[in-house]
Amino acid sequence: MSKLVIRGGHKIEGELKVSGAKNSVLPILAATVLNGKLNVIHDIPKLSDVEVMIKILKSVGCEVTRENNTIIVDSSKLNNHKIPEELIREMRSSIVFLGAMLARCRETTMSYPGGCEIGPRPIDLHLKSLREMGAVIKEKHGFLICKTEGLKGCEIQLDFPSVGATENIMLAAVFAEGTTIIRNAAREPEIKDLQDFINAMGGKVSGAGSATIYIEGVKELHEVKHTIIPDRIVAGTYLIAAAITRGEIVLKNVVPEHIQSTIYKLKEAGCRILYTQDSIKLMAPEKLHAIESTKTLPYPGFPTDMQSQIMALMTISDGTSIITENIFENRYKHAYELVRMGANIKVDGRTAIIKGVPKLTGATVSANDLRGGAALILAGLVAEGTTIIENARHIERGYDHIEEVLKAAGAEIYKL
């Protein structure tokens, strides 16, 4: 998909089903190399990032088949520990193969993951932790050449609760001798999903969801079946689609507990929200209010992956809203595109000040990254006239046919 066209002014209404979480699927697909057996995984969204993961799995000898939203990975014939550079560079999160391949093959060679639209994303915490476990990692000409005679469990204190570093350590530690303890671990729901996947194949992981995770090394793993958790960022994006268009929706396949920080902000904006254990209903107010302060933080704080969508909502909310981006230093490119649509936003370093305007107007804008692209869709849904979003391919990294989902809910949106 290269362009999206939206004619604004239609309410988003009805019932929407949320897809499986991208940020669970990616590390779990990497984890399929561990058991050397069959892995059956349900509720896998159709995303370009998933396609890249499948290509990486095939490049190391795994057999991968897909039927609708179920993927079967047979990792018994894995025969190559080198991952092609062009695949690693295509996607930042391919770095989770490092821990998984070290655990399975005791060696792996891959390039540094590619640069990223949201700023520099170092992997120093990943490399330091794996070295503490006994991996010898040489960094040469942009490549990581990694070997181990056998990883050893140890205590790792992360300087920051990095999601990817926590996952890489968990994957590497599955066959390590003894117990690995991760302190200041990331607490995201996707970390718990990875724990559940590893345990379902016979691993011994506990503590995920808290700041301390324990991984007891095992000798062997067995076949596994697993269903991916619902995507909390997709859920939050659809809630904002209803809020910004003054609509009313019910989300199905959602874990309300995972999106409490977003629900809290939407209530501050004036939305009425009701939920059961696995559904959420949002009723938008006639007039949206500014949200005084939104600060992105590691889970359970407000997610950086929702920052651009909440900014889109604030552009037409009454009053002044302030956002502080604490996780990624260069994640405001969408602000300049929203300004092209009539928004009043001032960015100063990590802070964005948004003064609500009565209306946005359609314009030709560019999606510079995944969530920034989602924010432009949200703005386009409510803008007067036509919005054309260029470089819309970024959005396909994280949203399964978003244009079809929104069209079914009342939007006038199509791809070019």
Annotated binding site for UDP-N-acetyl-alpha-D-glucosamine: 92, 121-125, 305, 327
8 A C-beta contact, residue 194 and residue 163? no
Annotated binding site for phosphoenolpyruvate: 22-23
Contacts of residue 321, defined as CB under 8 A and 6 or more positions apart, other chains included, come to 290, 291, 292, 293, 294, 314, 353, 354, 356
Q: Which of residues 285-304 bind ligand UD1 (CB under 6 A)?
A: 304
Binding residue for ligand UD1 (CB under 6 A) from 31, 163, 383, 406? 163
Helix (H, G, I), strand (E, B) or coil at 52: helix
Q: Are strands 272-275 and 279-283 parallel, antiparallel or unpaired?
A: antiparallel
- Residue closer to ligand PEP (CB basis): 276 or 330: 330
Among ligand UD1, ligand PEP, none, the one that 371 touches (CB under a kind-dependent 5 to 8 A) is: ligand PEP
Sign of the C-alpha dihedral computed for residues 56, 224, 44 and 369 taken in this order: negative
Q: Are strands 248-252 and 279-283 parallel, antiparallel or unpaired?
A: antiparallel
- Residue closer to ligand UD1 (CB basis): 113 or 362: 113
Judged by CB under 6 A, how many residues of this single chain contact ligand UD1? 19
- Residue closer to ligand PEP (CB basis): 92 or 226: 92
**Smallest separation, CB 92 to ligand PEP (Å):** 5
Nearest residue to the partner ligand UD1, using Cβ: 164
Nearest to 106 by CA among 114, 98, 118: 98
Please state, in angstroms and rounded to a whole number, the distance separating the CA atoms of residues 166 and 171.
9
Helix (H, G, I), strand (E, B) or coil at 320: strand
Please give the helix or strand (H or E) that residue 90 lies within, else none: helix 85-90
8 A C-beta contact, residue 389 and residue 365? yes
| Burial of 8: CB neighbours in 10 Å, binned 0-12, 13-18, 19+ | buried
8 A C-beta contact, residue 171 and residue 30? yes
Please state, in angstroms and rounded to a whole number, the distance separating the CA atoms of residues 47 and 398.
6
| Measured CA angle at 204 (ends 22, 232), to 5 deg | 20
Instruction: Tell me the window of 143-151, 156-164, 338-346, 386-394 that interacts with ligand UD1 (CB under 6 A).
Output: 156-164
**Smallest separation, CB 67 to ligand UD1 (Å):** 24
Please state, in angstroms and rounded to a whole number, the distance separating the CA atoms of residues 28 and 99.
12
Binding residue for ligand UD1 (CB under 6 A) from 23, 261, 294, 387? 23
Question: Interface with ligand UD1 includes 350 (CB under 6 A)?
Answer: no
CA 281 to chain centre: 23
- Six-digit token string for 149: 């005679």
Please state, in angstroms and rounded to a whole number, the distance separating the CA atoms of residues 359 and 8.
11
- Six-digit token string for 290: 């500014």
Question: Interface with ligand UD1 includes 261 (CB under 6 A)?
Answer: no
Annotated binding site: 22-23, 92, 121-125, 305, 327
Among ligand UD1, ligand PEP, none, the one that 41 touches (CB under a kind-dependent 5 to 8 A) is: none
Question: Interface with ligand UD1 includes 228 (CB under 6 A)?
Answer: no
Q: Which residues of this protein are in contact with ligand PEP, per CB under 6 A?
A: 92-93, 118, 305, 370-371, 398
Q: Which of residues 266-285 bind ligand UD1 (CB under 6 A)?
A: none
Catalytic residue among 62, 105, 116, 154: 116
**Smallest separation, CB 186 to ligand UD1 (Å):** 6
Binding residue for ligand UD1 (CB under 6 A) from 26, 367, 378, 406? 26
Compute how many other C-beta atoms are within 10 angstroms of the C-beta atom of residue 170.
27
- Residue closer to ligand PEP (CB basis): 130 or 370: 370
Binding residue for ligand UD1 (CB under 6 A) from 305, 337, 396, 403? 305
Question: Interface with ligand UD1 includes 123 (CB under 6 A)?
Answer: yes
- Residue closer to ligand PEP (CB basis): 187 or 371: 371
Question: Interface with ligand UD1 includes 122 (CB under 6 A)?
Answer: yes
- Six-digit token string for 98: 């490092």
Among ligand UD1, ligand PEP, none, the one that 398 touches (CB under a kind-dependent 5 to 8 A) is: ligand PEP
Nearest to 7 by CA among 362, 410, 395: 362
Among ligand PEP, ligand UD1, none, the one that 327 touches (CB under a kind-dependent 5 to 8 A) is: ligand UD1
Active-site residue flag, 105: no
Among ligand PEP, ligand UD1, none, the one that 370 touches (CB under a kind-dependent 5 to 8 A) is: ligand PEP
Please state, in angstroms and rounded to a whole number, the distance separating the CA atoms of residues 179 and 308.
40
Residue corresponding to tokens 């990223």: 116
Among ligand PEP, ligand UD1, none, the one that 264 touches (CB under a kind-dependent 5 to 8 A) is: none
Q: What residues are annotated to the active site?
A: 116
Which residues sit at the interface with ligand UD1, rule CB under 6 A? Answer: 23, 26, 93, 121-126, 160, 162-165, 186, 304-305, 327-328
